[in-house]
């Protein structure tokens, strides 16, 4: 990146998934997310700001931190800034950074590792909250299967409030995941309304927990690959839980024995 036009054009371009994938870059928007990015090991390519950022003391502190780190800082008009931002209320700051490369075959599983598997999750807010929950509840990684929204979408990054910078999502196909889990001796359980109520089957030592699409649940292929389908006990007449809430309950209840 070089100069005003470069960073602004790049940020606008990175609204498209194809551009993010081709360049291996993503955009972090808003005060809290950019603060978390600067505190993470990820490489920042540049920061775009507009005058909105100067209006709060916290914005001023962030500006000082950006300057003292010697990062490329480009100031644009509010209109130009808004044309590059993808989330609501980005508070006058966004940063372009490199996606950490994290591949399934580079993952090391501890004795009692937990993984979260995202199968066709469509809502960026849900994906962000899932990554946040997986990180906070001790999963080693989150595996993102095809059909799931891009985990480096700015709305996902915003919802994960920095958790994915230290707990990066790993993209894989179902057959890659299946081979990996088998090689690692790791069981795969899926969340499904018709599954056995949580608490019946003994919990495997190494476990991957899969959650599916907001409307349709797990795909047939994933369902077939699961060693066990489990459900969360619910009230009579209740339709369903939000997928991130369901995953949080499963990650907590199925955590390693302590």
Smallest separation, CB 23 to a copy of itself (Å): 27
The residue (of 224 and 234) whose beta carbon lies closer to a copy of itself is 234
Smallest separation, CB 236 to a copy of itself (Å): 9
The residue (of 198 and 201) whose beta carbon lies closer to a copy of itself is 198
For residues 7 and 205, what is the distance between their CA atoms, to the nearest angstrom? 47
The residue (of 183 and 235) whose beta carbon lies closer to a copy of itself is 235
The residue (of 20 and 132) whose beta carbon lies closer to a copy of itself is 132
DSSP string, 224-245: HH-SEEEE----TT-----HHH
Smallest separation, CB 200 to a copy of itself (Å): 13
Look at the alpha carbons of 173, 97, 110, 129 in this order and tell me if their dihedral is positive or negative.
Answer: negative
The residue (of 187 and 249) whose beta carbon lies closer to a copy of itself is 249
Residues of this chain that interact with a copy of itself (CB under 8 A) are: 125, 129, 132-133, 135-138, 161-163, 166, 232-235, 237-242, 244-249, 252-253, 255, 258
Smallest separation, CB 40 to a copy of itself (Å): 11
3 state SS for 88-155: CCCCCEEEEEECCCCCHHHCCCCCCCEEEEEECCCCHHHHHHHHHHHHHCCCCEEEECCCCCCCCCHH
Return the SS3 of 24: coil
The alpha carbon of residue 41 and the mean position of all alpha carbons in its chain are separated, in whole angstroms, by 16
Smallest separation, CB 138 to a copy of itself (Å): 4
């Amino acid at each position: 990146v070089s100069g005003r036009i470069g960073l602004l054009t790049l940020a606008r371009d990175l609204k498209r998934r194809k551009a993010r994938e081709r360049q291996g870059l993503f955009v972090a928007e808003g005060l809290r997310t950019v603060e978390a990015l600067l505190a993470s090991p990820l490489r920042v390519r540049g920061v775009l700001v507009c005058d909105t950022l100067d209006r709060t003391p916290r914005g001023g502190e962030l500006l000082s931190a950006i300057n003292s780190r010697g990062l490329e800082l480009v100031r644009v008009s509010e209109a130009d800034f808004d044309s590059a931002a993808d989330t609501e209320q980005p508070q006058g700051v966004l940063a372009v950074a490199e996606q950490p490369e994290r591949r399934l075959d580079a993952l090391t599983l501890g004795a009692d590792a937990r993984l979260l598997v995202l199968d066709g999750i469509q809502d960026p807010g849900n994906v962000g909250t899932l990554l946040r929950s997986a990180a906070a509840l001790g999963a080693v990684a989150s595996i993102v299967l095809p059909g799931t929204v891009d985990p480096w979408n700015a709305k996902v990054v915003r919802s994960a409030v920095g958790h994915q910078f230290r707990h990066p999502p790993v993209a894989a196909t179902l057959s890659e995941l299946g081979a990996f889990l088998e090689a690692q001796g790791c069981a795969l359980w899926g969340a499904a309304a018709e599954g056995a109520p949580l608490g019946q089957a003994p919990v495997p030592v190494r476990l991957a927990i899969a959650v599916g699409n907001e409307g349709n649940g797990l795909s047939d292929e994933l369902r077939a690959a699961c060693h066990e389908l489990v459900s969360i006990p619910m009230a009579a007449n209740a339709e369903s839980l939000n997928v991130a809430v369901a995953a949080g309950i499963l990650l907590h209840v199925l955590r390693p024995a302590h």
